[in-house]
């Protein structure tokens, strides 16, 4: 079978033109079928989930993939560890099996019904067991805006920012899948620094629009990963909402950075869009001046043209309203540079580790990827079509993030990551941990 242009690829499952999950995408996730069956690995195709464990049991994968128990578990970790040749062999097998003109699966009714499940009948889970989570600060627009608020426009960027991807170690245990409600956190706040701090629920709750990637094969302790080898270690991408408590952060972050203000929850989308699926959407990234040190130089195009949106729905609104439109291509420090910098000291990454971009902001006001920027620290409230105003999130607010790369007649999308903010626990519960 000869080469088929991407825009001519069609699956035997009908997929709408604006669906995030056409055959050109085939993102991976972990799902539990209705009835409490054991979790397994699948790919999204239109409004359906293709159960890869069923296809594997039927002997439909090549020898390099088959019989390795990569799809029957409750996480992608074994598949991530298998490496790029296995990822590509699996993708090529799926592209062949799911084509509209391939009868093998299409015309086998029993196998088709066992392997292809309506998405409405499954529960999506975290796609991987994330052992470690790192959050970067890779958007120049975001760093400049926040720095200008704190230090003035002339000193917005710290001296190191244009020389390395700044990051901090996040909390993997509080990663949650899309749809999980988030409780407003307690922490120390000090709104008036002439007074002592106090324990209180955060009043300045925020979202952060981010994209993260899952690490495939890791590296041995002491052996860095180069930019040239980054593609062998980057499996795919997820949407990330790194919820932030700005008032807790302001008091605690000196000198070591965020702690309780970030560790209470980070939401990620359930579907992992592979690096191979995003290959057609590579584009030039921002010009880096000064030129980075040699280990951070990344020839070629490591930016991706992925449109990103944030929608907000208050408790009083019947539908969500778009408040942010940004793009992944705005990142100053790209994913290959993030990976190379993370490991240049010999730090060992492992399959399933998550590296997130930090807030992705662009040059326009509505491309600012968090409320801190959108409302300029609360000084310029956001007015919604309902007439309600927001400086920061209020209880009952639901945040939805989505994103896609637009092809010729198809989209390679991420679905969404969503979460609703709940009221804080009672003081007694917060202080006693009950």
DSSP annotation of 99: B
Q: For residue 166, what pLDDT is reported?
A: 97
What the block records as the tokens of 133 is: 């989570």
Contact 304, 329 (CB under 8 A): yes
Contact 419, 267 (CB under 8 A): yes
* Residue 428 pLDDT > 80: no
What is the tens place of the pLDDT at every residue in 69-82? 999 989 999 999 99
Neighbours of 363 (CB within 10 A): 10
Contact 36, 55 (CB under 8 A): no
In degrees rounded to 5, what are phi and psi of residue 155? -120, 35
Place of tokens 């920027």: 373
Alpha-carbon Rg of the chain, whole angstroms?
Answer: 22
Torsion over CA: 148, 153, 154, 160 (sign): positive
**Full-prediction pTM beyond 0.85?**
yes
Contact 206, 198 (CB under 8 A): no
Q: For residue 429, what pLDDT is reported?
A: 72
Q: CA–CA separation, 58 vs 135, rounded Å?
A: 40
What is the tens place of the pLDDT at every residue in 273-285? 999 999 999 999 9
Q: How far is CA 103 from the centre of its chain?
A: 35
Ranges of beta strands (E only) in 242-306 are 244-245, 266-268, 273-274, 282-283, 303-304
pLDDT (average), residues 358-387: 97
Q: Which helix (H) or strand (E) holds 390?
A: strand 389-390
Neighbours of 383 (CB within 10 A): 10
Q: Could you tell me how many residues make up the chain?
A: 434
Burial class from Cβ neighbours inside 10 Å (0-12, 13-18, 19+) for residue 202 reads: buried
Q: Residues with Cβ < 8 Å from 35, sequence gap 6 or more?
A: none
Domains of the chain: 6-124 (2.30.30.230), 133-432 (3.90.850.10)
* Residue 432 pLDDT > 70: no
Q: CA–CA separation, 193 vs 423, rounded Å?
A: 26
Strand-pairing partners, residue 421, are: 182
Q: CA–CA separation, 347 vs 162, rounded Å?
A: 22
Active site residues: 142
**CA angle (121 as vertex; 116, 123 as ends), nearest 5:** 105
Q: CA–CA separation, 277 vs 274, rounded Å?
A: 5
Q: For residue 4, what pLDDT is reported?
A: 81
Place of tokens 């994968």: 61
What is the tens place of the pLDDT at every residue in 295-342? 999 999 999 999 999 999 999 999 999 999 999 999 999 999 999 999
Alpha helix locations (H) across 7-102? 52-57, 77-82, 84-97
What is the tens place of the pLDDT at every residue in 78-108? 999 999 999 999 999 999 999 999 999 999 9
* Residue 2 pLDDT > 70: no
Q: Residues with Cβ < 8 Å from 64, sequence gap 6 or more?
A: 85, 86, 89
Q: CA–CA separation, 338 vs 331, rounded Å?
A: 11
Chain mean pLDDT for the chain: 96
* Residue 353 pLDDT > 80: yes
What is the tens place of the pLDDT at every residue in 110-133? 999 999 999 999 999 999 999 999
What the block records as the tokens of 142 is: 């975001």
Q: 193, 246, 181, 174: which is closest to 392 by C-alpha? A: 246
What the block records as the tokens of 214 is: 């899952």
pLDDT band at 34 (very low <50, low <70, confident <90, very high): confident
């Amino acid at each position: 079978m000869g080469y088929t242009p991407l825009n001519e690829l069609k699956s035997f499952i009908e997929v709408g033109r604006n669906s995030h999950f056409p055959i050109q995408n085939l993102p991976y996730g972990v799902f539990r079928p209705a009835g409490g069956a054991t979790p397994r690995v699948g790919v999204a195709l239109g409004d359906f989930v293709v159960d890869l464990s069923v296809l594997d049991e039927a002997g439909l994968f090549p020898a390099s993939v088959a019989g390795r128990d990569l799809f029957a578990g409750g996480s992608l970790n074994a598949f991530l560890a298998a490496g790029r040749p296995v990822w590509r062999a699996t993708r090529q097998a799926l592209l062949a099996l799911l084509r509209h003109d391939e009868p093998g699966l299409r015309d086998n009714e029993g196998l088709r019904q066992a392997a292809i499940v309506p998405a409405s009948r499954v529960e999506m889970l975290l796609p991987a067991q994330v052992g470690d989570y790192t959050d970067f600060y890779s958007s120049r627009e975001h760093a400049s805006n926040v720095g200008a608020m704190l230090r003035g426009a002339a000193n917005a960027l710290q001296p190191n920012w244009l020389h390395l991807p700044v990051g901090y170690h996040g909390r993997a245990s509080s990663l949650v899948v899309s749809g999980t409600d988030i409780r407003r956190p307690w922490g120390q706040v000090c709104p008036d620094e002439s007074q002592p701090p106090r324990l209180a629920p955060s009043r300045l709750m925020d979202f952060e629009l981010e994209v993260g990637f899952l690490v495939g094969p890791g590296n041995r302790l002491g052996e860095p990963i180069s930019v040239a080898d980054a593609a062998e270690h980057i499996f795919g991408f997820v949407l990330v909402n790194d919820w932030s408590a700005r008032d807790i952060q302001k008091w605690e972050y000196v000198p070591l950075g965020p702690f309780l203000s970030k560790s209470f929850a980070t939401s990620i989308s359930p579907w992992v869009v592979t690096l191979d699926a995003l290959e057609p959407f590579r584009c030039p990234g921002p010009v880096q001046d000064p030129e980075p040190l040699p280990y951070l130089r990344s020839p070629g195009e490591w930016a991706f043209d992925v449109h990103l949106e944030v929608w907000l729905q208050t408790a009083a609104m019947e539908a969500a309203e778009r408040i942010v439109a940004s793009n992944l291509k705005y990142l100053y420090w790209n994913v290959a540079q993030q990976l190379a910098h993370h490991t240049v000291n010999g730090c060992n990454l492992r399959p399933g580790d998550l590296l997130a971009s930090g807030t992705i902001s662009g040059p326009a006001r509505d491309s600012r990827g968090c409320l801190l920027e959108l409302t300029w620290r609360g000084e310029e409230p956001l007015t919604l079509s309902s007439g309600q105003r927001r400086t920061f999130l209020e209880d009952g607010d639901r945040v939805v993030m989505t994103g896609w790369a637009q092809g010729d007649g198809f989209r390679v999308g991420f679905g969404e990551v969503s979460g609703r903010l709940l009221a804080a626990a009672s003081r007694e519960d917060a202080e006693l941990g009950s």
